[in-house]
């Protein structure tokens, strides 16, 4: 579909007629197909949690950004979150090698110089079309769209569980969260097709209520609109600040989106950004260096 990622980079709103196209009948169909799973994920009796606890409001964000202390931010006495949403690249999977190679192939195809792996990492805060235009040093919406489409079509075909591996401990974490009955979802600034292809390659599609990319939502991160849409349409949560919800990501834009949505913002350092970079953003409630630390925070009761 046609959508102005460069306009969103400048902070402009997507035109109303494109908003409808962006979400489309396919997204509504996926939502309907997932209603059974939503009911299964939200079954308080299986968790030993009372309905009153399920509806309890989230406590104040008492831990400062950058802290690695495992506290009860965003949780009540049950210790359980109602919704856990993950970023994809740099959070669940390591795609740097493949994506860097595919990026340089597209830049070469369009007549631009290749970039280093570090430069690739710097650009991951943007949506794919904006990132490629940024690497190329151009501000051309149509060119960005063409480059983005070329990248998406090539990398989606190349994704395997071997060349886009999960980080150590992530699959086990997802299994534990699912077993606890907590609904999970994915929101990425990559394309929706890519997100769903990665989930399929790892056999974890059924673990998530939904997996969405930047082209599935009204505005990409750091806008909170994608997170708000997932919470509203897949969890039935209208106000994240009144529920126990968390977003986990490895980029500053992830923390900005989570904070703006009223969610607990979790940063992880095994992706493209260091603890220093994430701490300096002052948007994260917790920053974790190890998957085990994240597991303890998300699942400790």
- Find the mean pLDDT for residues 28-50: 44
Going by pLDDT thresholds of 50, 70 and 90, the confidence category of residue 42 is very low
CA distance 150 to 109: 9
Residue scoring higher pLDDT (53 or 164):
164
Residue scoring higher pLDDT (59 or 168):
168
Least confident of 49-58, 87-96, 234-243: 49-58
DSSP of 168-209: TTHHHHHHHHHHTT-EEEEE-SS-HHHHHHHHHHTT-GGG-S
Least confident of 48-62, 85-99, 215-229: 48-62
Give the pLDDT of residue 300. 82
Going by pLDDT thresholds of 50, 70 and 90, the confidence category of residue 301 is low
- Between the CA of residue 294 and those of 30, 33, 124, 299, what are the distances in Å? 29, 30, 22, 8
pTM over cut 0.85: no
Averaged confidence pLDDT in the chain: 81
């Amino acid at each position: 579909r046609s959508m102005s990622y460069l306009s969103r980079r400048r902070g402009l709103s997507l035109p109303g007629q494109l908003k409808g196209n962006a979400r489309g009948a396919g997204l509504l169909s996926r939502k309907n197909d997932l209603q059974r799973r939503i009911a299964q994920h939200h079954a308080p009796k299986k968790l030993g949690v009372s309905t009153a606890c399920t509806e309890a409001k989230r406590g104040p964000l008492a831990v400062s950004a950058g802290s690695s202390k495992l506290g009860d931010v965003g949780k009540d006495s049950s210790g359980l979150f109602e919704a856990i949403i993950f970023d994809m690249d740099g959070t669940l999977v390591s795609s740097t090698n493949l994506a860097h190679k595919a990026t340089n192939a597209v830049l070469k195809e369009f007549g631009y110089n290749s970039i280093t792996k570090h430069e690739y990492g710097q650009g991951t805060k943007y949506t794919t079309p904006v990132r490629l235009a940024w690497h190329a040093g151009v501000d051309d919406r149509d060119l960005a769209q063409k480059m983005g489409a070329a990248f998406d079509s090539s990398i989606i075909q190349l994704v395997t569980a071997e060349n886009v591996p999960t980080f150590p401990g992530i699959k086990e974490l997802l299994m534990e969260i699912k077993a606890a009955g907590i609904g999970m979802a994915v929101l990425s600034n990559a394309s929706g097709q890519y997100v769903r292809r990665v989930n399929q390659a790892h056999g974890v599609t059924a673990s998530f209520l939904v997996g969405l990319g930047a082209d599935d939502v009204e505005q990409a991160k750091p806008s909170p609109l994608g997170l708000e849409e997932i919470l509203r349409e897949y969890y039935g949560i209208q106000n994240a600040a009144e529920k126990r919800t968390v977003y986990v990501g490895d980029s500053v834009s992830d923390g900005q989106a989570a904070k703006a949505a009223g969610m607990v913002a979790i940063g992880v350092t095994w992706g493209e950004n260091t603890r220093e970079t994430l701490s300096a953003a002052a948007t994260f409630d917790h920053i974790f260096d190890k998957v085990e630390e994240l597991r303890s925070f998300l699942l400790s009761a």
